[in-house]
């Protein structure tokens, strides 16, 4: 289910602490999400591509993930240019393509692609546990951090339970098809899975109470930042600042459109 494909890549990115990587991802994605200027978003995509190549990730794996994203982007390209009001640049019989619509779709595409690439380079190269502890060190509320940790821990067990249920159905000659019987079976299966997950959650909570859990979360992992970490964060912050200044038109770069 969860494979954590990119964890063991050997690259410069691996020398950064999870804390640095998480903070850098938060800063850069916030700036990108709030920017609308193409002269900011295009360089952002360039930087994201650069990060991915520095991280040394397998481009085929990246392509597979971008492919999943392209389904959503396709929907945007099919809808936005035809529905946005504005200066009409193109007519196809009764459909009008607006300049603003094209621009909006381009912006969204650039934003999503560059944010996905940045997260692949920075976040997917650490284990989920490291991410959780990094978030804890960044003062994210303990409840959310525990939620992430425990979801990660039990998702495998829930997957196992689903497999068991599926096997139980299979040994009694259940074949998936499009009959009402099949849908009903799947509904029961899913219902059973929810019941089991809820019961599991209750037992885990009881076990936590038995060990004196009172809602506080203590982390044993400490991350010691080195000059490389501070250097990287400084670089990310400077780029983010430049992008913000650009976005506010305090500095101007030539716009392609």
Partner 1 sequence: MHQSHSAILSLQKISFHYPNGPAVINNLDFTLNKGDRIGLTAPNGSGKSTLFHLIVGLLKSSSGRILYEDREIIQEEDFRQLRRRVGLLFQDADDQLFFPTVLEDVAFGPLNLGKSKEEALTISHQVLQRLELSDFADRITFKLSGGEKKLVALATVLAMEPDILLLDEPTAGLDHKTKLRLIELLNNFTDLSYLIVSHEFDFLTATTNHIYTMENGTILVDEELHIHHHEHAHRSGKQPHRHI
- Residue from 115, 118, 110 nearest 21 by CA: 118
Stretch that binds partner 1, among 33-41, 105-113, 145-153, 177-185 (CB under 8 A): 145-153
x-marked contacts with partner 1 along 100-129 as a string, rule CB under 8 A: ---------------------------xxx
Query: Closer to partner 1 at the Cβ: 162 or 208?
Result: 208
**Per CB under 8 A, does 212 bind partner 1?**
yes
CA distance 255 to 257: 6
Stretch that binds partner 1, among 9-17, 19-27, 41-49, 154-162 (CB under 8 A): 154-162
Stretch that binds partner 1, among 8-16, 89-97, 111-119, 202-210 (CB under 8 A): 202-210
- Residue from 139, 145, 158 nearest 201 by CA: 158
x-marked contacts with partner 1 along 157-186 as a string, rule CB under 8 A: x-----------------------------
The CA–CA distances, whole Å, from 74 to 67, 104, 110, 215 equal 10, 13, 13, 44
Q: Whole-number minimum distance, CB 156 to partner 1, in Å? A: 5
The pair of structure tokens assigned to 135 is 């978030």
Stretch that binds partner 1, among 68-76, 80-88, 185-193, 208-216 (CB under 8 A): 208-216
CA distance 208 to 198: 15
Number of helices and strands in the chain (H, E): 8, 2
Site size with partner 1, rule: CB under 8 A: 26
**DSSP assignment letter at 99:** H
Query: Closer to partner 1 at the Cβ: 45 or 134?
Result: 134
Contacts of residue 177, defined as CB under 8 A and 6 or more positions apart, other chains included, come to none
CA distance 240 to 24: 10
**Per CB under 8 A, does 39 bind partner 1?**
no
Q: Whole-number minimum distance, CB 2 to partner 1, in Å? A: 11
Query: Closer to partner 1 at the Cβ: 75 or 209?
Result: 209
CA distance 33 to 45: 12
Of 26, 42, 142, 152, the residue at the interface with partner 1 (CB under 8 A) is: 152
- Which residues face 90 on adjacent strands? 97
Of 54, 207, 228, 241, the residue at the interface with partner 1 (CB under 8 A) is: 207
**Per CB under 8 A, does 154 bind partner 1?**
yes
CA distance 189 to 181: 12
Residue 95's φ and ψ, nearest 5 degrees, are -95, 135
Binding residues for partner 1 (CB under 8 A):
127-129, 149-150, 152-154, 156-157, 200, 203-204, 206-214, 216, 218, 220-221
């Amino acid at each position: 289910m969860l494979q954590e494909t990119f964890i063991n890549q050997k690259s410069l990115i691996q020398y950064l602490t999870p804390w640095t990587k998480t903070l850098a991802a938060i800063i850069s994605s916030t700036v990108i999400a709030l920017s609308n200027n193409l002269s900011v978003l295009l360089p952002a995509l360039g930087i994201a591509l650069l990060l991915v190549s520095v991280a040394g990730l397998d481009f085929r794996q990246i392509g597979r993930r971008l492919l999943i994203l392209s389904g959503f982007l396709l929907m945007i390209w099919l809808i936005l240019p035809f529905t946005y009001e504005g200066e009409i640049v193109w007519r196809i019989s009764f459909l009008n393509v607006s300049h603003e619509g094209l621009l909006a779709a381009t912006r969204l595409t650039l934003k999503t692609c560059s944010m996905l690439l940045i997260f692949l380079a920075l976040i997917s190269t650490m284990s989920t546990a490291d991410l959780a502890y990094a978030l804890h060190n960044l003062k994210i509320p303990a409840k959310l951090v525990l939620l992430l940790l425990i979801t990660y821990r039990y998702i495998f067990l829930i997957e196992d339970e689903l497999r068991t249920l599926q096997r139980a159905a299979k040994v009694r000659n259940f074949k998936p098809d499009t009959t009402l019987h099949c849908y009903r079976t799947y509904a029961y299966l899913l219902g059973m899975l929810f019941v089991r997950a809820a019961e599991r959650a209750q037992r885990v909570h009881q076990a936590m109470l038995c060990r004196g859990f009172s809602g506080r979360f203590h982390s044993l992992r400490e991350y010691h930042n080195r000059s490389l970490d501070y250097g990287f964060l400084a670089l990310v912050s400077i780029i983010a600042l430049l992008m913000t200044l650009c976005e506010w038109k305090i500095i101007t770069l030539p716009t392609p459109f």
